[in-house]
A and B are shown apart, each in its own frame.
Chain A
Amino acid sequence: MSTETIDLKTRLIADFHAREAVMNGEASSEFHQKKRAGLARFEKLGFPTIKNEEWKYSNVKDLISVSYEFNAQSSIGLAELEDLKVPKQDANILYFVNGIFNAGLSTIISPVEEITISSLGDAYKNNPSLVSSFFNELTADSEDAFTALNTAFAQDGVFINIPDNKSVALPIILRFVSDARSSNVGSQPRNIIAVGKNSHVKVAEAFRTLGGQRSFTNSVTEIHVAEEANVQYYKVQNESENAYHVGTTQVRMRDRSHFYAGTVTLNGKFTRNNLNIILDGEHCDAHMYGLYFPDGTQHVDNHTVADHCKPNSESNELYKGILRDKSKGVFNGKIFVRPDAQKTNAFQSCKNIVLSPEASMNTKPQLEIFADDVKCSHGTTTGQIDEEALFYMRSRGISRPEAMSLLMFAFCADVVSQIKIDSIREYLENVIIQKLASK
C-alpha cells in the first residue's frame, strides 16, 4: 500500500537501485561509479533537518513530505514560454523541461570552434571520458545532501566546454522549465561549464515553473574557471507559489581569472541557493551579487562561500532583499582566508528592506581568517523604506505607492544593473516592476 508512507529518501534510494539493475555494462563506468558514490553519500547524510547548522533557518520538511515524478514527459511548447523573449540571433538558448534537454525548443548558434555546447546526455555519449573527468570534480567533497543526491541522479543538464583564448560572442541562456500542470514534478539538472584559459563567456540559468502542482528542482552547476578566464554567470528564479528549489553552484578559479555571479530570486515557495567559490589562484577576483524579493509565505535562503586559498585575490559581495507579507529571508555569507592567502581583500554586504511586521530576515556573515595581512569587511542592514526620501518624492507630486516603487526599484537596480545579458536584465526589470505594482 502505499507508497505514500515511504519517505522520499527511501524511495529515491530504491529508484537508484532499480535503475542500476537494468544498466548492463554501463554500471561499471567511471561516470556511474561517481553516481554510486553520490548515492552512498546521500544515504549517509540524509535530508538535512534544522538541527544542521547550515539549515537552521530553512526547513525542508515540507519539501520532502510528498513524492515527485522525476524527468516527467511534457508536451510544452514555446508559446507557453514567452515570458522571457530573447531574439533568436542574440543568444544560444537551451531548454530543459522537467530536467531533460529539449532539442526541438533549443537554438545553439555559436560556432563549434568557439565553444562546445550540448546537453550533458549527448556530451556523455560523444565523449564519456571527458565528461566523466569533469563530472563531480568540484563537488566530490561536498557535505551537502542535495548535491550528493543530484550526483547520484545526474542525467541531463548542460555541458559547456570552451577552449583557451576564445571570446564567446553570444551568451548562453539555459531555461529550466518545470511543467507542473498535471502532477508534482521533480528535476535534478547537472551542469558542467569548463572555461579555458583567457576565454570569456556569459551564461544564465533561468528557472520557471508552469502549473499549480508542486515542482522540486535540485540543480548543481560546476564551473571551472581557468587562468585569466572571465565568466559571467547568472541564476534567475521566477517560479511558482508551489515551487521548491535547492541549488548549488560550485566554482573553482585559477590565477588571474574573473568570475561574476548574479543570483536573482523573484518567486518560489522555497528557495535555497548555495554559491561556493574557491579562489584557488592568485590575482583572481570574484564578484557575487544577489537579489531576492519574496512575498506571501515564500522563503529564500542564500548561502555563499568565498574561499581564498592563495594570496593577492579579491572577493566582493553584495546581496539585497525586499521582504513583504509573511515572507522569510536567510543570508549566510562565509569568507575563508586560508593561511597562504596573504594580501586578500574580501568585502561582503547584505542589505534588506522588510516591508511587513510579519516578514523576517536572518543574516549571518561568517569570517574565518587564518592569514594576518588581509583586508576584510562585512556589514548587514535590515530596515524599512527611507521616510525622508519618501517625503521628498511626495513633495514633488509623486504618490506614495509610486514613490515606494521607485525607491524599491532603485534598491534592486544595484544588483540588476550588474547583469550584462540585455534580454535577461530587461526581463528581470519587467518582473520587478510588475511585482512592485502588484501591492
Chain B
Amino acid sequence: MLSINDLRASIEGKEILKGINLEVKPGEVHAIMGPNGSGKSTLASVLAGREEYEVTSGNVIFEGKDILEMAPEERAAEGIFLAFQYPVEIPGVTTINFLKTAVNEIRKYKGESPLDAAQFLKMVREKAKLVSMNDSLLKRALNEGFSGGEKKRNEIFQMAVLEPKLAILDETDSGLDIDALRIVAEGVNSLRSPERATIVVTHYQRLLDYIVPDFVHVLYKGRIVKSGPKELALELEEKGYDWIKAEVEAVG
C-alpha cells in the first residue's frame, strides 16, 4: 500500500529526514516511536504534503502512485489522512459544514456525485457515535474553544467520516487523559480493517496498549534505526531511548 524509499526532507535548509525506508501493507498498524526531535512529526507532515518541507530525494509510492508530486488535497482524496498533533481552530466554519465540503470534494475527485444533506447527516450521526461526539460540537466552529480531548476526538471523528485507506496519527495521545485516550483508541480500532492501514506516531507507549501495532519502528536522527514487533514498544517504555542512541552511536 505504502512504500517509502530513501526519503530525505529538509526545512529551511536543515535536513530532518535522512533516508527513511518503510513498507506498509493493507491491514497493518505501524508505530513510529522515537525521542523528541527525531523527525517523527516531520515524516507525518511530509506524507500529508505540508509545503514548508522540501523533499530532496527519494519517493513515496501509495497505491502505485508517487504522491510527492500531489497537492495535500489530492493525497487526501487518494485516501491518506493525517490526524494533527495540533488541530487548527477555524472560526466561522462549522465542523459539519467543513466535513460536508471535504466529503463532497473527495467524491468529486473520484467522479462521484455529491451526497445530499439528508444522506450526509445520517452518515455523520453514525460516525459521531463512534467517538462520542455530540451534536453540539458538530454545529460549533471547527475546533474553536474545544478542549484538547475534544480536538483529538474531532480528528478521529473526521477520520471516521472520510474513511481513509491510510491513517497517520501524529501524537494523537498527547494532552489526553486516560478516558479520552480510550475513546480515541476505540474509535481508531473500530475503523481497523484488512483493507486499511494505520501509522501511529507517538513518543510514549501508552497509546499502544489500546492500539496494538503489528510493527514498531524507532526513528532517531532522521532514520529508522530499529524495527521490531510490538514488544519493542514495551522495551522502550521500560528502558527509555538511551540504549538505542548508544547502539546507533556505536555503529555510526
**Bound CA span A411–B92, Å:** 7
Report yes or no: A392 in contact with B88, Cβ–Cβ below 8 A: yes
Report yes or no: A413 in contact with B92, Cβ–Cβ below 8 A: yes
10 closest residue pairs by CB, A with B? A410-B92, A397-B76, A394-B72, A392-B88, A396-B102, A397-B106, A394-B73, A413-B92, A410-B93, A397-B102
**Bound CA span A175–B87, Å:** 45
At the interface, yes or no: B109 with Cβ under 8 Å from chain A?
Answer: yes
**Bound CA span A392–B105, Å:** 14
Report yes or no: B50 in contact with A398, Cβ–Cβ below 8 A: no
Report yes or no: A397 in contact with B77, Cβ–Cβ below 8 A: yes
**Bound CA span A394–B109, Å:** 13
Least CB distance from B7 to A in Å reads 18
The residue on A at minimum CB distance from B91 is A410
Contact of A392 with B158 at beta-carbon distance under 8 Å, contacts A406-B98, A410-B92 already known:
no
Contact of A397 with B73 at beta-carbon distance under 8 Å, contacts A391-B50, A402-B105, A406-B98 already known:
yes
At the interface, yes or no: B48 with Cβ under 8 Å from chain A?
Answer: yes
**Bound CA span A398–B50, Å:** 14
Least CB distance from B242 to A in Å reads 34
At the interface, yes or no: A64 with Cβ under 8 Å from chain B?
Answer: no
Least CB distance from A241 to B in Å reads 29
Report yes or no: B88 in contact with A398, Cβ–Cβ below 8 A: no
Report yes or no: B71 in contact with A400, Cβ–Cβ below 8 A: yes
The residue on B at minimum CB distance from A413 is B92
Q: B residues within 8 Å of A by Cβ?
A: 48-51, 71-73, 75-77, 81-82, 84, 87-88, 90-93, 97-99, 101-103, 105-106, 109, 141, 158, 162
Contact of A397 with B49 at beta-carbon distance under 8 Å, contacts A406-B98, A407-B93, A414-B92 already known:
no
At the interface, yes or no: A55 with Cβ under 8 Å from chain B?
Answer: no
**Bound CA span A96–B84, Å:** 54
Report yes or no: A392 in contact with B102, Cβ–Cβ below 8 A: no
**Bound CA span A306–B59, Å:** 60
A-B contacts, CB under 8 A, total: 77
At the interface, yes or no: A393 with Cβ under 8 Å from chain B?
Answer: yes
Report yes or no: B87 in contact with A392, Cβ–Cβ below 8 A: yes
**Bound CA span A400–B141, Å:** 20
Apart from the given pairs A396-B162, A410-B92, 6 other A-B contacts in the complex at a CB distance below 8 Å = A388-B88, A389-B88, A396-B99, A399-B73, A400-B71, A407-B92
Report yes or no: B93 in contact with A395, Cβ–Cβ below 8 A: no
Q: A residues within 8 Å of B by Cβ?
A: 386, 388-389, 391-400, 402-403, 406-407, 409-411, 413-414
**Bound CA span A413–B91, Å:** 10
User: Can you offer 18 A-B residue contacts whose CB atoms are under 8 A?
Assistant: A391-B50, A391-B88, A392-B87, A392-B88, A392-B90, A394-B72, A395-B48, A395-B73, A396-B73, A396-B98, A396-B99, A397-B105, A397-B109, A398-B101, A398-B102, A399-B105, A410-B91, A410-B92
Contact of A407 with B90 at beta-carbon distance under 8 Å, contacts A391-B72, A396-B76 already known:
yes
**Bound CA span A406–B99, Å:** 12
The residue on A at minimum CB distance from B101 is A398
Chain B residues, CB < 8 A from A409: 92-93
Report yes or no: A394 in contact with B71, Cβ–Cβ below 8 A: yes
Query: Counting chain B CB atoms within 10 Å of each CB, which of A398, A402, A414 scores highest?
Result: A398
Checking B51, B71, B91, B158 against A396 with a beta-carbon cut-off of 8 angstroms, the contacting residue is B158
**Bound CA span A345–B175, Å:** 38
Chain B residues, CB < 8 A from A386: 88
Chain A residues, CB < 8 A from B88: 386, 388-389, 391-392
Chain A residues, CB < 8 A from B92: 407, 409-411, 413-414
Query: Counting chain B CB atoms within 10 Å of each CB, which of A388, A393, A400, A406 scores highest?
Result: A393
Report yes or no: A402 in contact with B49, Cβ–Cβ below 8 A: no
Contact of A402 with B93 at beta-carbon distance under 8 Å, contacts A392-B87, A397-B109 already known:
no
**Bound CA span A410–B94, Å:** 9
Chain A residues, CB < 8 A from B75: 395
Report yes or no: B102 in contact with A389, Cβ–Cβ below 8 A: no
Chain B residues, CB < 8 A from A391: 50-51, 72, 88
The residue on B at minimum CB distance from A394 is B72
Report yes or no: B73 in contact with A398, Cβ–Cβ below 8 A: yes
**Bound CA span A398–B49, Å:** 13
**Bound CA span A400–B72, Å:** 9
Least CB distance from A437 to B in Å reads 14
Checking A393, A397, A399, A414 against B90 with a beta-carbon cut-off of 8 angstroms, the contacting residue is A393
Least CB distance from B67 to A in Å reads 13
Least CB distance from A406 to B in Å reads 6
Chain B residues, CB < 8 A from A411: 92
**Bound CA span A102–B61, Å:** 68
The residue on A at minimum CB distance from B102 is A396
Checking A398, A407, A414 against B105 with a beta-carbon cut-off of 8 angstroms, the contacting residue is A398
Report yes or no: A402 in contact with B71, Cβ–Cβ below 8 A: no
Chain B residues, CB < 8 A from A402: 101, 105
Report yes or no: B93 in contact with A394, Cβ–Cβ below 8 A: no
Least CB distance from A193 to B in Å reads 31
The residue on B at minimum CB distance from A411 is B92
Chain B residues, CB < 8 A from A400: 71, 73
Report yes or no: A395 in contact with B91, Cβ–Cβ below 8 A: no
Report yes or no: A395 in contact with B49, Cβ–Cβ below 8 A: yes
Report yes or no: A410 in contact with B90, Cβ–Cβ below 8 A: yes
Chain B residues, CB < 8 A from A393: 90, 98, 102
Query: Counting chain A CB atoms within 10 Å of each CB, which of B81, B98, B141 scores highest?
Result: B98
**Bound CA span A403–B71, Å:** 13
Least CB distance from B142 to A in Å reads 8
The residue on A at minimum CB distance from B75 is A395
Chain B residues, CB < 8 A from A388: 88
**Bound CA span A388–B49, Å:** 12
Chain A residues, CB < 8 A from B109: 397
Chain A residues, CB < 8 A from B73: 394-400, 403
Chain B residues, CB < 8 A from A398: 73, 98, 101-102, 105
The residue on A at minimum CB distance from B87 is A392
Chain A residues, CB < 8 A from B81: 395-396
Least CB distance from A122 to B in Å reads 43
Least CB distance from B152 to A in Å reads 14
Least CB distance from A416 to B in Å reads 10
Contact of A406 with B101 at beta-carbon distance under 8 Å, contacts A391-B51, A391-B72 already known:
yes
Least CB distance from A305 to B in Å reads 28
Report yes or no: A394 in contact with B90, Cβ–Cβ below 8 A: no
